[in-house]
Structure 1
Amino acid sequence: MRAKTVLPAVAMTAVSMVLTLAVVVMWLGTAVPWLVALVVGVGIDGGWLATLAYERRLAAQGDHNRVVTAVGWAFGLLASGVLVAHAVSAEHSAGAWLAVAWLPIAAKALWLVHGMWERTALTPHALDAIHGIQQEARDEAAVARARLRAEAVTEETRLTAVTAAGARLARIQAKTARTLSSAWSTLESARKGEATGRALTCVTAPVTPGVTARWELPVWGPSEQVPALETAAPALTDTALDQLVEEEIRISEDPALSYRDMAARFRASGHSASEVRLRAAWKRVTSPTPSDSPRSA
């Protein structure tokens, strides 16, 4: 790479010096002896070459001198001025001489470019390190892009699976709801039938004499959690249970509580009784009974 910048500068400098020397000898040779003209031309080229060599020495040491640089540009401008003056005064081939009059300035500019390249040049080891860093950055970027694409595909697959599972669950829930609704309608029809009442009377008459049996469907809806009792309450007798249901729970509300609300308040107040006994007590209290019919124990 060094030869690509220094060789054009050397070649253009040599051509500029030869042209400057030839023009000075031809231009001044008619007015003064050719040896004097040769000395003048060599002086211009020598001064330019000396300042260029000194400037290159300072650049090799990492230094810079504005005076030397200014002197070098002055010699380049002087050489170009000589060529322009000769082209203007020449009777023949003026255009050709004007076409090469810029060579000294161009040579100086090429040396400037070469100096800038030297100040920014890196060793092969540094270039290899930079190439390795750039390659590593490209590799990391490619891996990151691949990871993002893979995550996007995975998320899309997951969302598709979740959506399909949700749709399947919704269909199952709808089918279950239709089945429950049909079963509930069947139970309601059976509860309202006359044969159901007679069957219940036959079954419950020996257990609860004098109590008209009624079949109540359980509530189909959200359930209320029964608070846990810290200590087990003592078991109540049937008489005490009937009195508690009649006086403290049912009659204390206006309108009277339903069985579900009564059972919730009964257990929330800390009392304990099985569901069978509590429902039997509720039926004994709420069912109209003859005045002389005794309550079962």
Structure 2
Amino acid sequence: MRAKTVLPAVAMTAVSMVLTLAVVMMWLGSAVPWLVALVVGLGIDGGWLATLAYERRLAAQGDHNRVVTAIGWSFGLLASGVLVSHAVTVEDSAGAWLAVAWLPIAAKALWLVHGLWERTALTTHALDAIQGIQQEARDEAAVARARLRAEAATEETRLTAVTAAGARVARVQAKTAHTLSGAWATLEAARKGEGTGKALTSVTAPVTPGVTARWELPVWGPSEQVPALDAAAPTLTDAALDQLVDAIRTSEDPALSYRDMATRFRASGHSASEVRLRAAWKRVA
């Protein structure tokens, strides 16, 4: 993977250096001695290579220097400027020279991309671990979605069944209520009918003469009053409580303790507050 990013940068850098040197030789060769033009071209390329090498060393150390980066971009812009100037001044093939004038800037940009890749590159083991974590997260999410959908479907089925059962019960209750209301209306009509009183009178007249018979509809449910609860037992006076406590305490030899006395006192059906019972114990003990 490293070669995929570094080889294009190296190739474009080499092409840019060759073009820059060639343009400087052709452009300045007619004005100055060719040796001077060669020195100028090599100076531009050498400065670019020097700053690039220093940037690469800093990147390998995990460091960065803005001054060095600015100088490197300056050499790249200078090389592109040389190519553009040559393309403008020549009479033939100006378009071709302009077409390759961007190569120094592109080479610098490729080195920047390669540096970014190096700072974010991961080993195969780390990539496998990340992929495993992502796959596990996707699996858990899929299982959770399936569980939620299944629970939702189950709840929907349950609610549908409950609703249907409730509707059936409501229909049965409504039908029963309608039937009962009809029967009750029939009984009420029979009770209030003109022939009902005469029929009852003809039946009951020999038994209870002079009494108008009346037919009342039955009353559903209990009609007798529920007897009230018995009144609470009367509260013992202090004297009676003292006598009772003393009798229980001295019922055995040796005398009972307060705890045993209180237990027997309540077991025999008597009641008194803890404060009164303890006060009575102190008075008789």
> What TM-score, normalized to structure 2?
0.67
Say if 2:48 and 2:72, in contact at 8 Å, map to a contact too. yes
Whole-Å separation in 1 of the counterparts to 2:205 and 2:183: 24
* Cα offset, 1:135, TM superposition: 2.5
Which residue pairs with 1:249 in the alignment? none
Which residue pairs with 1:271 in the alignment? none
Which residue pairs with 1:42 in the alignment? 42
Whole-Å separation in 2 of the counterparts to 1:9 and 1:120: 18
Residues 67 and 182 from structure 1, CA distance in 2 versus in 1: closer, same or farther, beyond 3 angstroms?
A: closer
- The one-letter code matched in structure 2 to 1:181 is S
Say if 1:190 and 1:196, in contact at 8 Å, map to a contact too. no
Which residue pairs with 1:130 in the alignment? 130
* Cα offset, 1:187, TM superposition: 4.8
Say if 2:9 and 2:111, in contact at 8 Å, map to a contact too. yes
* Cα offset, 1:91, TM superposition: 2.3
* Cα offset, 1:100, TM superposition: 0.9
Whole-Å separation in 1 of the counterparts to 2:227 and 2:117: 89
Which residue pairs with 2:160 in the alignment? 160
Q: Which moved more, 1:153-162 or 1:114-123?
A: 153-162
Question: Is 1:97 matched up with 2:64?
Answer: no
* Cα offset, 1:110, TM superposition: 1.0
* Cα offset, 1:139, TM superposition: 2.6
Gaps of 5+ in 2: 232-285
- The one-letter code matched in structure 2 to 1:102 is W
Residues 198 and 177 from structure 1, CA distance in 2 versus in 1: closer, same or farther, beyond 3 angstroms?
A: farther
Residues 78 and 224 from structure 1, CA distance in 2 versus in 1: closer, same or farther, beyond 3 angstroms?
A: farther
* Cα offset, 1:145, TM superposition: 2.8
Residues 195 and 61 from structure 1, CA distance in 2 versus in 1: closer, same or farther, beyond 3 angstroms?
A: same
Whole-Å separation in 2 of the counterparts to 1:16 and 1:117: 22
Whole-Å separation in 1 of the counterparts to 2:225 and 2:149: 52
Structure 1 segment 178-189 matched on structure 2, within 5 A = 178-185=178-185, 187-188=187-188, 189=190
* Cα offset, 1:68, TM superposition: 1.2
* Cα offset, 1:184, TM superposition: 3.4
* Cα offset, 1:37, TM superposition: 2.3
Which residue pairs with 2:81 in the alignment? 81
Deviation by residue 1:156-214 (Cα, 9 ceiling, x = unmatched): 32232223222221221233223333443565537946555666789xx7xx9x99986
Whole-Å separation in 2 of the counterparts to 1:225 and 1:126: 87
Say if 1:20 and 1:83, in contact at 8 Å, map to a contact too. yes
Question: Is 1:16 matched up with 2:2?
Answer: no
Deviation by residue 1:264-290 (Cα, 9 ceiling, x = unmatched): xxxxxxxxxxxxxxxxxxxxxxxxxxx
* Cα offset, 1:226, TM superposition: 5.6
Which residue pairs with 1:151 in the alignment? 151
- The one-letter code matched in structure 2 to 1:132 is G
Whole-Å separation in 2 of the counterparts to 1:200 and 1:130: 102
Residues 185 and 84 from structure 1, CA distance in 2 versus in 1: closer, same or farther, beyond 3 angstroms?
A: closer
Gaps of 5+ in 1: 233-297
* Cα offset, 1:21, TM superposition: 1.2
Structure 1 segment 143-292 matched on structure 2, within 5 A = 143-185=143-185, 187-188=187-188, 189=190, 192=196, 194=198, 215-219=215-219, 229-231=228-230
Whole-Å separation in 2 of the counterparts to 1:48 and 1:228: 115
Q: Which moved more, 1:19-28 or 1:210-219?
A: 210-219
Identity of aligned residues (%): 82
* Cα offset, 1:78, TM superposition: 1.7
Whole-Å separation in 2 of the counterparts to 1:23 and 1:150: 74
Say if 2:197 and 2:213, in contact at 8 Å, map to a contact too. no
Which residue pairs with 1:66 in the alignment? 66
Q: Secondary structure at the match of 2:164?
A: helix
Which residue pairs with 1:241 in the alignment? none
- The one-letter code matched in structure 1 to 2:93 is S
Residues 173 and 199 from structure 1, CA distance in 2 versus in 1: closer, same or farther, beyond 3 angstroms?
A: farther
Residues 3 and 181 from structure 1, CA distance in 2 versus in 1: closer, same or farther, beyond 3 angstroms?
A: same
* Cα offset, 1:29, TM superposition: 2.2
Whole-Å separation in 2 of the counterparts to 1:225 and 1:37: 131
* Cα offset, 1:14, TM superposition: 0.5
Whole-Å separation in 2 of the counterparts to 1:114 and 1:71: 18
What is the RMSD computed on CA atoms of the aligned residues? 3.3
Which residue pairs with 1:141 in the alignment? 141
